[in-house]
């Protein structure tokens, strides 16, 4: 009799496990408190990638495919200068942009035969948008509006003569993927997957193109982006020419601020142009996709890239339109710029371990 009870109990456990495998964790457990400055993102099954009604969708956002993502907590704002300073003060961490450049290592990320730049250029620094550029008509060469600025880093966003005094609540920038990962380790958080990021950005507005719905005319009211003729003229009709203080615009339906515009945000996924097709070809819903197993971008074969999402203050419909939820771009792991930052997430398993 005891054996029969044991077998019956084992069968129930197996059945429960099988059923549980198919169920997305939607609701926040009652015994798990919301961490400070975070919000619960309910789990759901949804269509990731380009929406049918999105006239601006690019090929690498296709094909759309079904994913199921368990619930998690996400920062309500991008990581700020103040938060990153606390991390650096406690750990003495040195960001990628602050480290000496070793040519023998650096040239591995460049096409073979690339000549060594002058030593005056091979100095610690980062990419900064050149707001003095005018009369650009060829959008295929982004080097026209980006410049390597020695001395630029998270403490000096425009170069050595700039600073972040009085800018505690601005998003931290000039952060590489490695830097973001280091912060996450210290904070006991992690970067979101691309699927998690899209679920959070969509919020309660199923199948919407933008974080606020489908009305593009509300752009200036909803996100810090570029108005005018990029990169030649910025009308600043949203009130900003560059970065904005976090929470400058209304949050999305979940209470998450600036998940569109302001700064691009890292995800943990490799950028692989074939990955969406792989998911679509499976013909089934993918549970908690973790991204491609390796990076692949034929347009940048010498560097491994991670996916960034959300667009930035530089995004404009005439160029990248990356303020859309499905928009995505690759960012080389060792690169940084003054329009890329990040926010963190934490899942239930991580909280239980802590």
User: Residues near 183 by Cβ (< 8 Å), separated by ≥ 6?
Assistant: 79, 84, 87, 93, 175, 189, 342, 344
Q: At what angle do helices 81-91 and 177-187 cross, to 10 degrees?
A: 80
**Cα dihedral 243, 246, 250, 253 sign:** positive
Give the phi and the psi of residue 46 in degrees, each rounded to 5.
-150, 170
Give the phi and the psi of residue 277 in degrees, each rounded to 5.
-65, -35
User: Residues near 175 by Cβ (< 8 Å), separated by ≥ 6?
Assistant: 84, 95, 154, 183, 266, 336, 340, 341, 342
d(CA 299, CA 126): 21
Tokens 């904070």 locate to 187
User: Residues near 127 by Cβ (< 8 Å), separated by ≥ 6?
Assistant: 146, 147, 148, 149, 152, 335, 336, 337, 338
Residue 26 Ramachandran class (φ > 0 left, ψ -120 to 50 alpha, else beta): alpha
The encoded tokens of residue 207 equal 């199948």
Question: Strand pairing of 65-69 and 44-48?
Answer: antiparallel
The residues facing 68 across adjacent strands are 45, 287
d(CA 222, CA 88): 32
- Counted residue by residue, the chain has a size of 354
Output the CA–CA distances (angstroms, integers) from residue 43 to 153, 185, 188, 320, 348, in the order listed: 36, 24, 21, 29, 12
Q: What is the mean pLDDT of each run of 10 residues along the chain (354 residues)?
A: 39 38 87 97 98 93 98 99 99 98 81 84 92 84 88 98 98 99 99 99 95 92 92 89 96 98 98 98 97 96 96 88 95 96 98 84
d(CA 210, CA 72): 21
Domains of the chain: 39-353 (3.90.1580.10)
| Ranges assigned E (strand) in 70-116 | 72-75
> What pLDDT score does 293 carry?
98
Taking the whole predicted model, whether its pTM rises above 0.75 is answered as: yes
> What pLDDT score does 4 carry?
42
> What pLDDT score does 101 carry?
86
Q: 64 near 103, Cβ under 8 Å?
A: no
> What pLDDT score does 19 carry?
40
Residue 283 Ramachandran class (φ > 0 left, ψ -120 to 50 alpha, else beta): left
């Amino acid at each position: 009799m005891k054996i029969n009870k044991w077998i019956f109990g084992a069968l129930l456990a197996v059945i429960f496990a099988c059923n549980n495998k198919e169920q997305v964790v939607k609701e926040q457990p009652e015994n798990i408190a919301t961490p400070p400055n975070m919000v619960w993102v309910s789990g759901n099954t949804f269509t990731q990638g380009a929406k049918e009604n999105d006239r601006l969708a690019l090929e690498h956002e296709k094909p759309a495919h079904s994913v199921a993502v368990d619930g998690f907590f996400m920062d309500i704002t991008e990581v700020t200068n103040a938060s990153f300073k606390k991390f650096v003060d406690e750990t003495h961490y040195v960001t990628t942009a602050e480290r000496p450049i070793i040519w023998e290592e650096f040239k591995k990320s460049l096409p073979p035969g690339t000549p060594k730049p002058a030593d005056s250029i091979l100095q610690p620094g980062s990419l900064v948008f050149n707001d003095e550029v005018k009369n650009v008509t060829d959008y295929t060469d982004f080097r026209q509006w980006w410049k390597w600025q020695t001395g630029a880093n998270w403490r000096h966003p425009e170069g050595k003569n700039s600073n972040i005094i009085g800018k505690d609540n601005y998003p931290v920038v000039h952060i590489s993927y490695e830097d973001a990962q280091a912060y996450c380790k210290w904070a006991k958080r992690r970067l979101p997957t691309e699927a998690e990021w899209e679920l959070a950005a969509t919020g309660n507005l199923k199948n919407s193109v933008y974080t606020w719905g489908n009305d593009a005319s509300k752009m200036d009211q909803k996100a810090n982006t570029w108005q005018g003729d990029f990169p030649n003229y910025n009308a600043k009709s949203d009130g900003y020419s560059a970065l904005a203080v976090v929470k400058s615009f209304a949050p999305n339906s979940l209470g998450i601020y600036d998940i569109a515009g302001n700064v691009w945000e890292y995800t943990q996924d490799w950028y692989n142009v074939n990955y969406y097709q792989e998911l679509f070809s499976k013909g089934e819903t993918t549970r908690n996709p973790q991204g491609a197993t390796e990076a692949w971008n034929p347009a940048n074969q010498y560097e491994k890239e991670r996916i960034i999402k959300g667009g930035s203050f530089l995004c404009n419909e005439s160029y990248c339109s990356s303020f859309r939820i499905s928009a995505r771009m690759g960012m080389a792991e060792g690169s940084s710029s003054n329009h890329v930052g990040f926010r963190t997430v934490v899942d239930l398993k991580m909280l239980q371990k802590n």
